[in-house]
């Protein structure tokens, strides 16, 4: 755990080995996190855009697609949240036809080791799960 948040509780685990939960410190400050063996502990607040008004306090569960549910504060009011992995394969800020093309080229790849731009749920493979995630957010900006 990071030095600023030395204590944690895990609440969710998916088949990809990703764990989520809440980390906290003696000042009773809470942060939602995700953990996997490749990336270690990552504060989920670092994965959302700055200036959103959100502070993610505790991650409750994660599914095999990498979607995370939890509790946070939006402009100081407690709310539930759902995070869906970014499906912007070419990292241009738009989820559009070029991202579909990248997914089509990589679909069926079973050993990405961090090298597939369309492995949206970080399971080291590009499958129909990644296509479903992309279809959920097609037309949005990342």
From 58, 83, 108, the end of a domain falls on 83
Q: Give the count of domains, the chain.
A: 2
Element (H, E) at 104: helix 97-106
Could you tell me if 18 and 35 are in contact, meaning their C-beta atoms sit under 8 angstroms apart? yes
Categorize the per-residue pLDDT at 8 as very low, low, confident or very high, splitting at 50, 70 and 90.
Answer: very high
The 10s digit of each residue's pLDDT in 60-102 is 999 999 999 999 999 999 999 999 988 899 988 888 999 999 9
Residues 68 and 102 in one domain: no
Residues 79 and 121 in one domain: no
Its domain, for residue 120, covers 97-137
Sign for the CA dihedral angle at 21, 26, 30, 34 comes to negative
pLDDT at site 85: 87
pTM: 0.82
CA separation for the pair 47, 116 (Å, rounded): 19
CA separation for the pair 103, 134 (Å, rounded): 9
Find the length of the chain: 142
Does residue 89 sit within a domain?
A: no
Does residue 1 sit within a domain?
A: no
The Cα angle at residue 135 between residues 130 and 140, in degrees rounded to 5: 115
Residues 71 and 110 in one domain: no
Residues 110 and 48 in one domain: no
From 83, 108, 128, the end of a domain falls on 83
Choose from 36-45, 72-81, 105-114 the range with maximum mean pLDDT.
72-81
Residues 47 and 11 in one domain: yes
Does residue 2 sit within a domain?
A: no
Residues 77 and 11 in one domain: yes
């Amino acid at each position: 755990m990071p030095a600023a948040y030395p204590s944690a509780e895990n609440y969710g685990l998916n088949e990809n080995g990703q764990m989520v939960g809440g980390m906290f410190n003696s000042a009773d400050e809470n942060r939602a996190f995700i953990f996997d063996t490749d990336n270690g502990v990552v504060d989920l607040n670092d994965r959302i855009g700055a200036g959103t008004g959100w502070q993610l306090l505790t991650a409750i569960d994660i599914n095999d697609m990498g979607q995370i549910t939890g509790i946070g504060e939006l402009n100081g009011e407690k709310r539930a949240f759902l995070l869906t992995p970014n499906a912007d394969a070419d990292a241009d800020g738009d989820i559009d036809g070029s991202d579909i093309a990248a997914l089509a080229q990589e679909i069926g790849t079973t050993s990405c080791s961090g090298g597939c731009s369309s492995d949206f749920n970080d399971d080291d493979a590009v499958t129909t799960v990644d296509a479903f995630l992309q279809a959920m957010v097609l037309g949005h900006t990342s």
